[in-house]
Amino acid sequence: MVDRLEVRQADITTLPVDAIVNAANTSLLGGGGVDGAIHRAAGPRLLEACRTIGGCPTGEARITPGFDLPARWVIHTVGPVWHGGHRGEDELIASCYRESLALAERAGARTIAFPAISTGAYGFPMACAARIAVAEIAAWLQGHPAVDRVILVVRGEEALHAHRDALAEMGG
């Protein structure tokens, strides 16, 4: 039973959680998709903060304040671009979830919201990404009781069904 993990259709920039995760690129200087939405909602101070970080390798994560967002923190993680699945994409996307959770917990976040990392511009197949996300988060939560809730925030029916199916397969 994965009682501290839920799937929810929403705009992640509106959620009053402690930390939201951004699906960024290695420059951390913004982009489209959820990256663009988060920067728009957080305001220009987010880009200023990201500039001081100096980028982020794929599979890793960096943390900044949320500025004008309802969320206190933004955790920027860089998912893999999908190249067919033979360049370590599965391990890299799993690392994004683990690294983001570790950073959030270190910052004292108790509620964390993720978008479906890499499933947009980076082309990661939704069903596969959803299974990895649910498995990684569920496994991580087992060893980290300090985190109260993780929300997988999805947009659209395909993402909703893929993540709900993945959660159901885990007994969630």
- Nearer Cβ to ligand APR, position 120 or 172? 120
Look up residue 56 and give its DSSP letter.
-
- Nearer Cβ to ligand APR, position 36 or 70? 36
Q: Are 158 and 121 in contact (CB under 8 A)?
A: no
Binder of ligand APR out of 56, 159, 160, 166 (CB under 6 A): 159
Question: Between residue 101 and residue 140, which ones bind ligand APR under the rule CB under 6 A?
Answer: 115-122
Q: Residue 127: exposed, middle, or buried by beta-carbon count in 10 A (0-12, 13-18, 19+)?
A: middle
Q: Is residue 153 near ligand APR by the rule CB under 6 A?
A: yes
Whether 35 is catalytic is yes
Smallest gap, in angstroms, from Cβ of residue 142 to ligand APR?
A: 26
Q: How many CA atoms lie within 13 A of 59 on its CB side?
A: 9
Q: Which of 3, 35, 68, 90 is catalytic?
A: 35
**Measuring CA to CA, how many Å separate 170 from each of 2, 26, 38, 138?**
7, 31, 30, 8
């929810």: which residue's tokens? 8
Q: Per-residue x/- marks for ligand APR, 4-23, CB under 6 A?
A: -------xxx---------x
Rounded to an integer, what distance in angstroms lies between the CA atom of residue 12 and that of residue 20? 7
Binder of ligand APR out of 64, 155, 163, 167 (CB under 6 A): 155
Q: Per-residue x/- marks for ligand APR, 26-45, CB under 6 A?
A: -----xxxxxxx--------
């087992």: which residue's tokens? 142
**Measuring CA to CA, how many Å separate 124 from each of 13, 44, 80?**
22, 29, 8
Binding site for ligand APR (CB under 6 A): 11-13, 23-25, 31-37, 79, 115-122, 153, 155, 159
Q: Which residues are catalytic?
A: 35
